[in-house]
Amino acid sequence: MLLLGLMVTLAAVIAYSSYIIMQIKGLRQLQSDLADRNRKDSLQLLRVQNDLNSLALAMRDMLDTTGPYPLTAWSAQFQRIRSDLDDAVRRESQMAPVQRPAEQSEYLRSSLAQFWDATDRIFLLAKEGKQEQARSEIRVSLQSRQTALTTTVARLLVQNNEYEEVVAQRTAEIYDRVQKQVYFFLAGTLTAILLTSLYIIRVNRRLFARLAALSAQRSDLAQKLIATQESTLRYISRELHDEFGQVLTAVGSMLGRAEKHTAENSPLRTELREVREIAQNTLDSVRSLSQALHPVMLDEAGLESTLDWYLPTVEKQTSVAISYEKTGTVFAIDGSAAIHVYRIVQEALNNVTRHSGARQAWVRMRFQPGALELEVEDHGTGFSLPNARPGIGLVAMRERAELLGGNLEILPAAGGGTLVRLRVPREATDSNA
């Protein structure tokens, strides 16, 4: 669904972008073909109109009989205006708007040609000395043709102004249409974003709900597994201590009595003594194993006394020097909390002796007002955290910390090696917890 929403959004963006590009292209073409061309054409028409006004002024002066100059004196001025006017008309025909009928441009050129024909006849009459006849032609023919040309040019200018208004209106329509499309696109995009966000929120809620349920199930399962493990270890420990211990004690006693009833120099007496020593060593091993599986001291004396006994035992068994430090006001830690903390310390020290290669470790227990903080530090090889795969021991340590409502951190030690830090709220250390 998210992929489909993304594809629809991208398609909408591409379609709208293509639409905007086409509208901008059409607008640019409209401005280039109509507005710019129409403006340049109007400039040439104003140039034509200015030349026609100059001709009108010249003809007014030619009709003034009080002037000292003959009509032929204006020939050069007319020739100059004619050159400029022909150039202006030629340029105007090239820039004429596409909407203008071809007949209008042709009418302007033919009217201008007739005007110059009439002008040539007038100057010819003036050269022949027929001044009055030439002036009469100016009044009757030339001025009317100039007026007609001026009217035609004025009409073309009006049409150009109308074309500019049409272009402005069409441009405004394009802008309005694009603006509306922008609003529609923004509304659609925001709607798509809103729907996608709502869908993501809904999916995330379902996902987090499933994760929470799985986490709760995992925690329940871990708690039951750990409880089952502790119950099994406690049962095996008691069986070893009680059943096998009593059996081995009885065997030792029976061997001792048999040894007393045997002659002093008898070889059987020596064999009985050896068997009794083997039974005693086995009894000691069974008791040690029983304590290792589940120290009875945890149930009887609590965590603090158990660690006082356990750490020296580890030193003797592993030859790892352990520095033990306790700070703060001591409070009782027993029940399930004592079992979990003890197992975390046990697993941390097992990692020190088996994997770190260190010959010294530090165990610190800090009794703080609101929590118990426990640290196990070594300066061995440490963990390669980016590539390390957590073993079952580390997983069990974290599970026990979560069951206590605490926090377990495995950090690089300051001097190299590993620092395991456990922080447990004080209320979790209550015997009823």
Q: How confident is the model at residue 383 (pLDDT cuts 50, 70, 90)?
A: low
Return the CATH number at 379. 3.30.565.10
* Whether residue 302 sits in one domain with residue 173: no
Distance CA 212, CA 276 (A): 59
Of 197, 232, 248, which residue sits at a domain end?
Answer: 197
* Whether residue 156 sits in one domain with residue 302: no
* Whether residue 302 sits in one domain with residue 190: no
Cα within 13 Å of Cα(63), Cβ side: 13
Residue with the bigger pLDDT between 266 and 60: it is: 60
Q: Is residue 267 part of a domain?
A: no
Distance CA 219, CA 215 (A): 6
Average pLDDT for 297-311:
84
* Whether residue 303 sits in one domain with residue 190: no
Q: Is residue 84 part of a domain?
A: yes
Of 174, 197, 220, which residue sits at a domain end?
Answer: 197
Return the CATH number at 98. 1.20.120
Average pLDDT for 292-303:
77
Q: Which residues contact 338 (CB under 8 A, 6 or more apart)?
A: 298, 302, 303, 306, 429
Residue environment code for 62-87, b if the CB has 16+ CB neighbours within 10 A, otherwise e: beeeeeeeebeebbeebeebbeebbe
Q: What is the pLDDT of residue 432?
A: 45
Residue with the bigger pLDDT between 432 and 383: it is: 383
* Count of domains observed in the chain: 2
Q: What is the pLDDT of residue 404?
A: 86
Q: What is the pLDDT of residue 279?
A: 82
Distance CA 84, CA 107 (A): 19
Distance CA 367, CA 156 (A): 102
Identify which of 31-40, 93-102, 281-290, 331-340 has the greatest average pLDDT: 331-340
Distance CA 93, CA 112 (A): 13
* Whether residue 305 sits in one domain with residue 186: no
Residue 325 tokens read as 């430090």
* Whether residue 168 sits in one domain with residue 34: yes
Q: Is residue 225 part of a domain?
A: no
Residue with the bigger pLDDT between 148 and 2: it is: 148
Q: What is the pLDDT of residue 385?
A: 47
Q: Is residue 237 part of a domain?
A: no
Q: Is residue 104 part of a domain?
A: yes
User: What is the extent of the structural domain holding 143?
Assistant: 2-197
Of 197, 212, 232, which residue sits at a domain end?
Answer: 197
pTM summary value: 0.51
* Whether residue 186 sits in one domain with residue 52: yes
Q: Is residue 287 part of a domain?
A: no
Among the listed residues 410, 409, 404, the one whose alpha carbon sits nearest the alpha carbon of residue 424: 404
Average pLDDT for 221-234:
78
Sign of the C-alpha dihedral, residues 39, 41, 45, 50?
positive
* Whether residue 167 sits in one domain with residue 34: yes
Q: Is residue 99 part of a domain?
A: yes
Among the listed residues 23, 8, 34, the one whose alpha carbon sits nearest the alpha carbon of residue 180: 23
Identify which of 15-19, 100-104, 314-318, 427-431 has the greatest average pLDDT: 314-318
* Whether residue 171 sits in one domain with residue 41: yes
Classify the phi-psi angles of 328: left when phi > 0, otherwise alpha if psi is within -120 to 50, otherwise beta: left
> Is the predicted pLDDT of residue 180 greater than 60, yes or no?
yes
Residue 378 tokens read as 């070594």
Contact by Cβ (8 Å): 346, 322: no
Q: Which residues contact 409 (CB under 8 A, 6 or more apart)?
A: 419, 420, 421, 422
Residue type, 164: E
Q: Is residue 164 part of a domain?
A: yes
* Whether residue 50 sits in one domain with residue 178: yes
Contact by Cβ (8 Å): 344, 422: yes
